[in-house]
Structure 1
């Protein structure tokens, strides 16, 4: 059965503070929205995707240098399954040293190094701005996200004719506060709305998608919605996406904001360590997108 296509709400960064109310509605409702007028040129985004794609052509011994720093932060491959895909990770893309170390391990060219370093720098500024606006919409003025580490995942899907109709990425929520996604060119992304209905999202070149993640829901005491999403193969063609995930406070300690806990909104979640949380999600597939209930606050 065909999945209905949704036109995601667009948040225009050139139209603030007028867009703040709209941003708050979609962040607490659907949990996913499109970012436009973000100031990063389309041509540069294309160059970044080309750099990401080039790493999938490297010999396996070089790819395997991209090791985990924490669970799921390094190279991963599903080449033994259909559709095959590969993913590369920069543990903390807010650190220029981490980006340079990744490029060195992949034997990146000077041009590739410059592109990835510039991309990480620009998107970090963008994700900090988005997170600050989301917090402001909840009434939390002056929250600083500058020091929050951000993972960057470079995803390359090798989609074949026999892959059409299969899931390239199973349904999941992201683990962090927010994710900025430079989406695949050929579509296949589907999100789940508030009723659980799957909706297809057509790509729009030059924009970013923003997803609220599990930390976002816990940190906001349930105000923000962690949206479930997946990728389905719809066409036999290469597909590249880049996820930039703002994870948690630098100390890894996640807890509901005190200003969002009151008689009308009792505390929903216990505090937790993000490393333990992500390890549990990754080592138990059944908990990807379903782990937060394990940290529900005692009644």
Structure 2
């Protein structure tokens, strides 16, 4: 699907049903998408459209809770709990949990917001399905680099539910400022009706990402660039207010390891590709981005060992 008349405005499409062990073409296409764009659209992912619809409805219901109730959704790490509208992003609020693969984290989230049995059932079903998709994508991204690994299965997968309060007065303003994601990859269930998401292409231009019901957009973050020894792009993106309408999105992000340092695997380091970044823990990198106020991947340059 294109989002403009220019060829460079075509976000790559990855069909999950086309992969098999003997077909290298789809892994080559995935690698090209990761290296040239840092984002791609996923189709035929086996997550039912009905579940995606129900999940959006549950998210809408949770945002309708009183503000004092939403504030019970506290951080496990900075940014993993409730974010109220603020000076930088006045039209945006967000709910979240640190690890959707953790029954304890899910249970705590349900308790914080006093979720109903139905809401819990939908959230649990969605969390399981999206976590499986995230791990599958992690494996395929590793395989397209010639690696076979279950590395990402122990990394937390953060869930963020986002609401944008767009009104006639906010049209033309920012919903969320330009940033790259801190972690490895983010699977976005975008609003199927209301656009506004934009990704930066290789030319430095922002490309509008039009809604496409039943699909997911995948963004690669700073950890993906570090892990791939600079081969993958950590795509910069933003949300702009294009119309007067409430907009929702649901983002599920494989972050980084809870323990140990992140670095490129030895298979991705050689004389032609020297190690670009010094090893660092995910928590230290997250704090570096935060304290230096580097929201678009500049913090990676502070870790550079080779130009």
Which TM bucket (shorter chain)? over 0.9
Equivalent residue for 1:15? 18
CA 1:143–1:232: 2 relative to 1, 3 Å: same
- Displacement of 1:285 after TM fit? 3.2
| Cα distance in structure 1, aligned partners of 2:73 and 2:40 | 31
1:255 is aligned to: 263
CA 154–227 in structure 1, closer or farther in 2 if over 3 Å, else same:
same
Match of 1:273 among 267, 275, 281: 281
Whether the 8 Å contact between 1:282 and 1:288 is mirrored in structure 2 is no
- After superposition, the C-alpha distances for 1:180-224 in whole angstroms (9 at most, x for unaligned) are 111123110111111211111101011011111100000110111
1:59: which partner in 2?
66
Residue of structure 1 in register with 2:240 after alignment: 232
Q: 1:7 to 1:250 in 2, by over 3 A?
A: same
Of the structure 1 ranges 119-128 and 242-251, higher mean CA displacement relative to structure 2 is found in: 242-251
Unaligned runs of 5+ in 1: none
1:145-184 correspondence runs (5 A): 145-184=152-191
Contact 2:89 2:177 in 1 (8 A): no
Q: What is the distance in 2 between the residues matched to 1:218 and 1:50?
A: 36
Q: CA offset at residue 172 of structure 1?
A: 0.6
How far does residue 174 in structure 1 lie from its aligned partner after superposition?
0.4
Runs of 4+ in structure 1 off by over 6 angstroms are none
TM-aligned CA deviation for residue 252 of structure 1: 5.1
Q: RMSD of aligned C-alpha atoms?
A: 1.7
- 1:82 CA displacement: 6.4
Alignment CA distance shift 1:253-1:25 (3 Å): same
> What's 2:100 paired with?
93
Q: Which runs of 5+ in 2 are unaligned?
A: none
How many residue pairs are counted as aligned between the two chains? 297
Counterparts of 1:165-204 in structure 2, within 5 Å, are 165-185=172-192, 186-204=194-212
Q: Closer, same or farther in 2 for the Cα pair 1:257/1:56, shift >3 Å?
A: same
Structure-to-structure mapping, 1:205-220, within 5 angstroms: 205-220=213-228
Query: Hey, what's the Cα distance between the residues in 2 that align with 1:120 and 1:296?
Result: 35
Residues 81/160 of structure 1: CA separation in 2 closer, same or farther (3 Å cut): farther
Kept in 1: contact 2:164–2:246 (CA 8 A): yes
Report the more deviating stretch, 272-281 or 39-48. 272-281
Partner Cα distance (1:76, 1:115) in 2? 22
For the 8 Å contact 2:224–2:233, the answer to whether it is kept is yes
Aligned mates of 2:267, 2:198 — CA distance in 1 = 33
Structure 1 residue 279, shift from structure 2 partner: 2.3
Indicate the residue corresponding to 1:42 in structure 2: 49
Deviations 1:202-248 (A, max 9, x none): 01011011111100000110111111000000011111101100011
Partner of residue 130 from structure 1, selected from 134, 137, 148: 137
